[in-house]
Amino acid sequence: MAEFTMELNDEQKEVRDWLHGFAADVIRPAAAEWDEREETPWPVIQEAAKVGIYSLDFYAQQYFDSTGLGIPMAMEELFWGDAGIALSIVGTGLAAVGVLANGTEEQIGTWIPQMYGDATDVKVAAFCSSEPDAGSDVASMRTRAVYDEAKDEWVINGTKTWATNGGIANVHVVVASVDPELGSKGHASFIVPPNTPGLAQGQKFKKHGIRASHTAEVILDNVRVPGSCLLGGKEKLDERLARAREKARQGGGERLKNAAMATFEASRPAVGAMAVGTARAAYEVALDYARTREQFGRPIIDNQGVAFQLADMRTQIDAARLLVWRASWMAINGKPFTAAEGSMSKLFASETAKTVTAQAIQILGGNGYTREYPVERMHRDAAIYTIFEGTSEIQRLVIARTISGMPIR
C-alpha cells in the first residue's frame, strides 16, 4: 500500500507537465470556438488520440497508479484547459470503465478498442444510465431488458437521458433492469454494438455550460443484442440475482444499497478533480488580471477587498484538492469511506468551483461578464459539478447518513 503523500513523484510530474502543455497549447485556444458551436470537438479529440491522451492505455495507467493521484492529477490539468472539451476527451472513459469493471476478458478485448477507434478514425462511446425519472434515484429505473432464450438475445426498451456522447457513440453501454423487484440490484449492463436497429438519439440538450460535450437522450425501441453483449455473461448474472434475492429475503436490502453506494463513493473524487481544474483556471485569470488592471493609479490587487477575495479563492482550491487527493488515495488502497470522504471531496470541490468562478467574474468586473474573457464560460461550466454524479444535496445526504447512521430523508 502506497503511503499518502502530497508530493508527486518524478514520473507523475512529467505526466502533469505534458498534460498541462496539451491543455494550454491545444485545448485552450479552441475552447471559445467549440463552446459557441456547441458541437463535439472532433479535431481536438483526434489531436489527443495522436499524442496518446485519448486512449485506454493512458486512462488505465492513471487509474492503476498506486498512489491514487494519477486520475485526479490528469483530470485537473485537462479541465484547467476547458471543461467542455475535456469532458469530450474523457467521456468515453465512463463506458470503458463500465466494461472493464463488469466485462469478461473477451468483451474487454472486443469492445473497448471499438470505443476509441484510432488516431485516423476517432470513435467515442456512451455510458447510458440516467433516465427522466431515475437520476439520483437509481432504483426507479424503467428501462427493461428481457431475455429471449430461443434466440439467445436480450430485448431492451426504454429512454436514457443526460448521456454524454449519446446517439453519436460507436458503442453504447446501457444499464437496464432485468428484475425490477430487486431495485438497483436487479440491474445489468449491456453493450449495444454500432448500427444496432432500434437505438436512436433523442433530444440533444442545449446546455448552460460544457457546451463542447455532446449530451443527449438515447431511445431504445425493441433493441435486440446478442446474449454475448450482457457484460459478465448470463451465468454470472443469474448467480448475482440469486444472491440478491436471498439477501432481500433475509432483510439485507440496506446492506446491498450501501454496497452500491460505495461504488459511487469511489468515483466521485474524479469529478471533484475536474471542478478543481476549472476553479484553478478561473483563479489564475483573476489573479493575473488583478495584478495588471489599474484603477486610481494602482493595480486593483493593492486593495484588500480584491486581495482578500483572491486569498480565499486560493485557500478553497487547495482545500478542495486535498480532499480529492485524500479520497482518491483511500479508494485505490481500499480504505473504507467511514465518513463518506468520496462525497465530501465532490461536494466541497463542486461548490468551490461555483464560488471561485463567480468571484473571478466579480474581480474582472464588466470584463468578466463578457465572452472576451474566459471566466464567463468557466462560471457556466462550473454549474454542472454540483449536478452530475450526484447533486450537492445528494452528497450532503450521503455524508449525513454515513456520519449519523440514521436513514435521513
**Residues 347/403, Cβ–Cβ less than 8 Å:** no
User: 3-state class of 110 per DSSP?
Assistant: helix
DSSP per-residue letters across 232-298: T-HHHHHHHHHHHHHHHHTT-HHHHHHHHHHHHHHHHHHHHHHHHHHHHHHHHHHHHHHHH-EETTE
To the query of whether residue 389 is one of the catalytic residues in this protein, the response is: yes
| Residue 358: Cβ within 10 Å count | 15
DSSP per-residue letters across 3-41: PP-SS--HHHHHHHHHHHHHIIIIIHHHHHHHHHHTS--
Identity at 217, one-letter amino acid code: E
List alpha helices for 143-193, DSSP H.
Answer: none
Q: If residue 189 lies in a helix (H) or strand (E), which one and from where to where?
A: strand 187-192
Q: In the structure grid, which three cell numbers stand for residue 310, read together?
A: 483572491
Q: In the structure grid, which three cell numbers stand for residue 341, read together?
A: 470522504
Q: In the structure grid, which three cell numbers stand for residue 182, read together?
A: 430487486
- Dihedral sign of CA atoms 347, 350, 354, 355 in order: positive
Q: How far apart are CA 8 and CA 22, in angstroms?
A: 19
Q: How far apart are CA 12 and CA 317, in angstroms?
A: 20
Question: How do strand 171-177 and strand 125-128 relate by DSSP bridges?
Answer: parallel
Q: What are the C-alpha distances in Å from 381 to residues 76, 78, 89, 190, 200?
A: 14, 14, 16, 31, 27
Q: How far apart are CA 230 and CA 47, in angstroms?
A: 33
Closest CA to 218 of 344, 119, 339, 95: 95
Residue for grid cell 512529467: 14
Q: Which of 47, 217, 265, 389 is catalytic?
A: 389
CA angle 159, 107, 67 (to 5 degrees): 95
Q: Among all residues, which ones are annotated catalytic? A: 389
